[in-house]
Structure 1
């Protein structure tokens, strides 16, 4: 009688401190979905990470579920209703070689594969609707005139998988599928912004310059804002901006994995000598 093939688990449910330490010591990238017992894990993202793990390799990407109430190390995440994902990496030179992303063409030089900044940075996206209408260059000029430095400007078409994770906090909204479809419908301009003089927080300044999400509201209340000038209606509001610093870190880590933050933007974990927290977002 033939032996049954051993089924490989695509995710691990961490229920003890011992299993937590063992999982976070795994070579490669470990993604931990921290959930609450009363609401459960984030189901749309579970299937996405399972697919990614199959495509990238079982030894390079690990996905785990952890209930906040069952582990003391997750105490600070208890009682939250927002999706929470923690990223831990145990790497060596061989692993870096295996998972290194192919370089993309970037404006601003041949060595644009790694970008770093000591200033506070935020993400800006000139969306497919504005690009299709030929407004990208005009918007970029206005961004620079408003006192922003553009550290990187990359034009590319975003994927459905990227946008599902990018907008995971809106997954329960009725307009989620329409938003994801729009963001993948054509080329966008992805920009990393900071302030020229660094006299104010780039995230806050960019949000103010964008105006309200709804272009109709923006035209009534902030007629000089970018969304008032270039947006039509929801979700075609021309430009995106990170809501706050935590959101900026999460979005930049997703779309620009090689971007290096300054020490003031990312704090290393206190109790992880073997692991490095790549990003942690709520």
Structure 2
């Protein structure tokens, strides 16, 4: 990540204090305005990274800036590695396959359907690169759904998406007969659960959705939307130059807590 072209901003924080959530939201907004490929933002926990030892014990915010004008100038240099409690390096989320975003929404999680939905996703031929439970913040959801800001139900949608934990999944396909974005949208079914029950009764929204906006799952509209949404919700996720194909893992491992 530190070798990415453009500007990388690292927010260094400590476990007892935690990152400043308003700053995270601000940088996400700036990334959308400047360009996802030119501005990168990550969080690094000083408590766990020996290279950040000199920043421990401070109360003031600390930001590190890395600028790469030309990728050819990037050197191996010194990089950060997030370490688990057991001392093993944690692999960066990456793959050589095309990816898309899936969200199991708060209504489905609240009704206890998340695990069953995950099983059906896997049974349908999807590979799950990551499955993270997270309560989404209003600021990031406003960016996420900014293309729907003019709709009457926009505020209701935001409230629902931030009302409780969601499951955020990065999906790939073992079988490439159908691209992963289209395959996931077909499995979800029509957006309105009532329509889904009439037209595609085996779809996830038909089985687990109730009424708009409580339709159980979200999927990216197309490849471009998948790239934007993944970069917004998974800042450390690495892409290749084409589409939503994640870049292969680099060596040495380059991991920043996100």
Q: Does 1:200 align with 2:149?
A: no
Q: Does 1:86 align with 2:32?
A: no
Question: 1:185-206 CA deviation, whole Å, 9 max, x = no partner?
Answer: 0000000001012332000000
Q: Between the two structures, name the one with larger relative contact order (CA 8 Å, sep ≥ 6).
A: 2
Structure 2 contact 100–244 (Cα < 8 Å) conserved: no
Runs of 4+ in 1 over 6 A off after TM superposition: 102-105
Structure 2 contact 138–158 (Cα < 8 Å) conserved: yes
Query: Which residue of structure 2 lines up, in the alignment, with residue 7 of structure 1?
Result: none
Question: 1:121-148 CA deviation, whole Å, 9 max, x = no partner?
Answer: 0000000000000000000000000000
Select 1:219's aligned residue among 193, 197, 201. 197
TM-score, with length taken from structure 1:
0.60
Structure 1: state its 5+ residue gaps.
Answer: 1-24, 30-51, 65-82, 268-282
Shift of 1:266: 6.2
Counterpart secondary structure, 1:95: strand
Q: Does 1:121 align with 2:99?
A: yes
Question: 1:228-281 CA deviation, whole Å, 9 max, x = no partner?
Answer: 0000000000000001000000000000011112343269xxxxxxxxxxxxxx
Q: How many residues align?
A: 193
Counterpart secondary structure, 2:65: helix
- Which structure would you say has the larger Rg? 1
TM-score, with length taken from structure 2:
0.65
Structure 2: state its 5+ residue gaps.
Answer: 10-19, 42-50, 52-63, 67-78, 246-258
Q: Distance in 1 between matches of 2:65 and 2:34?
A: 22
Select 2:165's aligned residue among 161, 169, 187. 187
Q: Does 1:174 align with 2:152?
A: yes
Q: 1:186 to 1:245 in 2, by over 3 A?
A: same
CA RMSD of aligned residues (A): 3.7
